[in-house]
């Protein structure tokens, strides 16, 4: 049995620093790296990222959509990336943003969180907008297998505000209701529960009470999307100690040389300064 995800993430961050690097093989990046828009180019991109980053960075976050674009060959590359990253010591967070009901959610959970599944990751991203309870099959399986989930709460895209900042049935914002549901599932866990939140680093000063969350916060938008260390402090305040900033393009644009890619990631990590450990 592996240790619970919250404990493993806390250890990884204490040893490697609080940074998640997104592995996003966008077509423009493949072109910038001089790689073909093919499964072979995708694999070269992915394995270069593993070579450069998996031995140094706490969490790697492949974006599934960019691999799915290449069909079964792309999924095979994603499988190899997940295995190679874990072998090098990085935790893997598969960015799939799945959310469904009933047997379909059961199947998604089995695909990404079951023991021995080809696409099993240390954690996944989930969307709660069919009701937070619809995620229970994934959250329960993650807990049993020592894995985690990051649930979309307050994202940085402008389209999200109309739903996430709207008032829910209980009088709080939808984002606050999501945070409270996550907190309920993390209650009593130590050092952190397995249910994290996704909160954009560019959303401005938070109007969320995260004091009971007892879980990690993934903060995309650090770097190329404009968020700075100062923004992280402004957005998250006392919750900063639980924040895992995520950066993709700011680092990936330095490829394809593995040494340059690694140096860029370490510069971003070091720019976080003396951060609060998870």
Mean pLDDT of the chain: 94
Tell me: pLDDT of 276 over 70: no
pLDDT tens-place string over residues 204-223: 888 899 999 999 999 998 87
Q: Give the model's confidence band at 231: pLDDT under 50 very low, under 70 low, under 90 confident, else very high.
A: confident
Q: Give the model's confidence band at 60: pLDDT under 50 very low, under 70 low, under 90 confident, else very high.
A: very high
pLDDT tens-place string over residues 104-153: 999 999 999 999 999 999 999 999 999 999 999 999 999 999 999 999 99
Q: What is the pTM of this model?
A: 0.96
* Secondary structure string (H, E, C) spanning the chain: CCCCHHHHHHHHHHHHCCCEEEECCCHHHHHHCCCCCCHHHHHHHHHHHHHHHCCCCCEEEEEHHHHHCCHHHHHHHHHHHHHHHHHCCCEEEEEEEECCCHHHHHHHHHHHHCCCCCCCCCEEEECCCCCHHHHHHHHHHHHHHCCEEEEEEECCCHHHHHHHCCECCCCCEHHHHHHHHHHHHHCCCCCCCCEEEEECCCCCCCCCCCCCCCCCEEEECECCCCECHHHHHHHHHHHHHHEEEEECHHHHCCCCCHHHHHHHHHHHHHHCCCCCCC
Q: 197 is written with which tokens?
A: 């939140």
pLDDT tens-place string over residues 180-205: 999 999 999 999 999 999 999 988 88
Q: Give the model's confidence band at 278: pLDDT under 50 very low, under 70 low, under 90 confident, else very high.
A: low
CB 229 within 8 A of CB 271: yes
CB 14 within 8 A of CB 54: no
Calpha distance 29→46 (Å, rounded): 12
CATH superfamily of 5-271: Aldolase class I (3.20.20.70)
Q: Give the model's confidence band at 272: pLDDT under 50 very low, under 70 low, under 90 confident, else very high.
A: confident
CB 13 within 8 A of CB 191: no
Catalytic annotation, pick one of 86, 97, 165, 253: 97
Calpha distance 66→72 (Å, rounded): 12
Phi, psi (deg, nearest 5) at residue 195: -105, 105
Confidence (pLDDT) at 20: 97
> Does residue 97 carry a catalytic annotation?
yes
Tell me: pLDDT of 236 over 70: yes
Q: 151 is written with which tokens?
A: 């649930």
Q: 109 is written with which tokens?
A: 């959970």
Residue ranges per structural domain of the chain: 5-271
Tell me: pLDDT of 97 over 90: yes
Confidence (pLDDT) at 221: 86
pLDDT tens-place string over residues 79-92: 999 999 999 999 99
Confidence (pLDDT) at 228: 82
The mean per-residue pLDDT over the stretch 21-42 comes to 97
Q: 112 is written with which tokens?
A: 């990404």
CB 105 within 8 A of CB 135: yes
Phi, psi (deg, nearest 5) at residue 243: -95, 135
- Identify which of 237, 212, 227 has the alpha carbon closest to the alpha carbon of residue 268: 227
């Amino acid at each position: 049995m592996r240790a619970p995800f919250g404990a493993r993430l806390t250890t990884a961050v204490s040893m490697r620093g609080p940074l998640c690097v997104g592995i996003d093989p966008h077509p423009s990046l493949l072109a910038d790296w001089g790689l073909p828009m093919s499964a072979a180019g995708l694999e070269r991109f992915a394995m270069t990222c593993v070579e450069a980053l998996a031995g140094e960075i706490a969490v790697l976050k492949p974006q599934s959509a960019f691999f799915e674009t290449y069909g079964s060959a792309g999924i095979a590359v994603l499988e190899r990336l997940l295995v190679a990253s874990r072998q090098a010591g990085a935790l893997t967070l598969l960015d799939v943003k799945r959310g469904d009901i009933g047997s379909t959610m059961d199947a998604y959970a089995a695909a990404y969180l079951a023991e021995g599944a080809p696409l099993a990751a240390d954690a996944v991203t989930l969307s709660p907008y069919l009701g937070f309870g619809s995620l229970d099959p994934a959250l329960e399986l993650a807990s049993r297998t020592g894995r985690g989930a990051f649930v979309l709460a307050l994202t940085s895209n402008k389209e999200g505000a109309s739903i996430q900042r709207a008032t829910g049935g209980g009088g709080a914002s939808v984002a606050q209701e999501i945070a409270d549901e996550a907190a309920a599932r993390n209650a009593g866990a130590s050092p952190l529960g397995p249910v994290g939140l996704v909160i954009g680093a560019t959303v401005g000063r938070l109007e969320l009470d995260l004091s009971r969350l007892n879980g990690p916060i993934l903060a995309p938008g650090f770097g190329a999307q404009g968020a700075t260390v100062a923004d992280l402090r402004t957005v998250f305040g006392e919750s900063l100690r639980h924040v895992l900033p995520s950066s993709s393009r700011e680092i990936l644009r330095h490829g394809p040389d593995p040494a340059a890619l690694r140096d860029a990631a370490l510069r971003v990590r070091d720019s976080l300064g003396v951060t609060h450990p998870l």
